[in-house]
């Protein structure tokens, strides 16, 4: 008996002979509808009906196409990979660090392993350390400076500003007079390549001497800074000029020492590299019933000094074991990475220690990841080395 079965368009019609040995089951087989095979098997059945070479070629082609379709990425997968990409910002942050002993002398030869640094409460790794000494430090210190206005090559050396806060009050005026020979010793201790200028604040800010390298000129100007209240022409200089960038109108309108510091800080932002400001004064802030309160313009002064990379070292001229307004001086020195000294009664030791401290520093480069904008606390400790660390307590990112 023969039954015709339709195997689909791929195989055509062919006959399949059914041999029925049991006549009782014939009506059941003839009455049942023969179903075609599943669609994926149709190419394979077609190949079985063809000659051997052609069948193998077609079968190989079918298998390759199936493998390619399974391995090809879908559009949804590509979209997901683009949608969930991740970005991590990594940068090197330079930090100015001074490491000194009990006499204020710098401790050279430190390596990255000697520093433990935290930025914004997170531990960061130290990438490298540069030692900037007093001899020939100007060019190296300004090589990586992000500030604008590079100095010519013959203007190497650090910039030092002597800031006098004058007063005719007896204890304060006496302290400034007694400190004259010590200031002269500080000037003489500067490197011949360093530049120093002199400013003073009484009723407003005055520029007494622009940047120069002549110790005699600086000593003569500082000897009269405490008592000479009239204006004095700062003189023309061939090197970097503070007068060129000083806002004279703002200097005349500065009514507080904080405002005067802000004017000086803005002027120093035009010079690259690290700067030093020696504050010879009697205090910052206002004393009231609730104690000492920093003036409202203290924050603006601090920001201007930090943006200019200025480190403040305060020499308190008040002849007293303690007074309330020294709090402002301590706070300013600590925030900028400097120190606070009481020159009396051992004025020689205090000034000598200051001269040693400003003679060299480290630039510590740390690796920070995904640092958000804003102010961040900076904490630096020594690892395996004994000494005092002077550094800025905050960083503005």
Residue ranges of domains in the chain: 2-83, 135-358
The yes-or-no verdict on residue 205 having pLDDT over 60 is: yes
Q: What pLDDT does residue 380 have?
A: 96
> Taking 70 as the threshold, does the pLDDT of residue 35 lie above it?
no
Q: What is the pLDDT of residues 350-367, one digit of tens each?
A: 889 999 999 999 999 999
| Cis? peptide before 227, omega within 30° of 0 | no
| Per-residue pLDDT, 164 | 94
Q: What percent of the chain shows pLDDT beyond 70?
A: 68
pTM: 0.72
Q: With bands split at pLDDT 50, 70 and 90, how would you rate the model's confidence at 150? A: very low
Termini Cα distance of the chain: 93
Has residue 54 got a pLDDT over 70?
no
Segment 279-302 shows an average pLDDT of 86
Model pLDDT for residues 94-130, shown as the tens digit of each residue: 999 999 998 899 999 999 999 999 998 899 999 999 9
Q: How many beta carbons lie within 10 A of that of residue 18, not counting itself?
A: 13
pLDDT greater than 50 at residue 57: yes
Q: What is the pLDDT of residue 77?
A: 54
What confidence score (pLDDT) does residue 379 get? 94
CATH 3.40.1410.10 fits 135-358, yes or no: no
Nearest of 161, 386, 113 to residue 261 by alpha carbon = 161
The three-point CA angle 353-359-361 to 5° equals 110
């Amino acid at each position: 008996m023969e039954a015709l079965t339709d195997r689909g368009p791929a195989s055509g019609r062919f006959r399949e002979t059914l041999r029925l040995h049991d006549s009782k089951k014939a009506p059941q087989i003839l009455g049942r509808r023969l179903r075609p095979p599943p669609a994926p098997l149709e190419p394979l059945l077609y190949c079985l009906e063809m000659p051997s070479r052609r069948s193998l070629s077609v079968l190989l082609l079918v298998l390759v196409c199936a493998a390619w379709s399974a391995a090809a990425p879908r559009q949804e997968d590509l979209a997901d990979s683009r949608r969930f990409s991740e970005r991590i910002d990594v940068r090197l942050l330079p930090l100015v660090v001074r490491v000194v002993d009990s006499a204020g002398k710098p401790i050279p030869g430190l390596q990255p392993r000697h520093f433990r640094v935290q930025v914004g409460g997170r531990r960061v790794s130290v990438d490298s350390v540069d030692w900037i000494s007093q001899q020939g430090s100007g060019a190296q210190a300004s090589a990586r400076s992000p500030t604008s206005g590079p100095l010519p090559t013959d203007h190497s050396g650090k910039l030092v500003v002597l800031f006098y806060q004058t007063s005719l009050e007896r204890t304060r005026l006496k302290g400034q007079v007694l400190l004259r020979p010590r200031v002269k010793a500080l000037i003489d201790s500067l490197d011949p390549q360093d530049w120093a200028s002199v400013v003073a604040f009484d009723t407003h800010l005055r520029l007494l001497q622009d940047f120069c390298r002549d110790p005699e000129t600086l000593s003569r100007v500082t000897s009269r800074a405490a008592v000479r209240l009239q204006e004095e022409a700062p003189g023309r200089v061939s090197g970097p000029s503070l007068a060129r960038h000083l806002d004279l109108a703002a200097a005349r309108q500065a009514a507080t020492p904080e405002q005067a510091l802000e004017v000086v800080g803005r002027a120093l932002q035009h010079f690259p590299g690290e700067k030093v400001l020696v504050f010879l004064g009697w205090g910052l802030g206002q004393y009231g019933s609730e104690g000492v309160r920093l003036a409202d313009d203290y924050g603006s002064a601090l920001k201007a000094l930090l943006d200019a990379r200025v480190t403040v070292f305060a020499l308190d001229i008040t002849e007293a074991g303690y007074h309330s307004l020294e709090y402002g001086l301590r706070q300013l020195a600590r925030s900028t990475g400097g120190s606070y000294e009481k020159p009396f009664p051992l004025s020689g030791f205090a000034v000598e220690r200051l001269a040693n401290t400003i003679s060299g520093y480290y630039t510590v480069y740390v690796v920070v990841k995904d640092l958000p904008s804003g102010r961040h606390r900076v904490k630096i400790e020594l690892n395996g080395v004994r000494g005092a660390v002077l550094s800025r307590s905050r960083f503005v990112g």
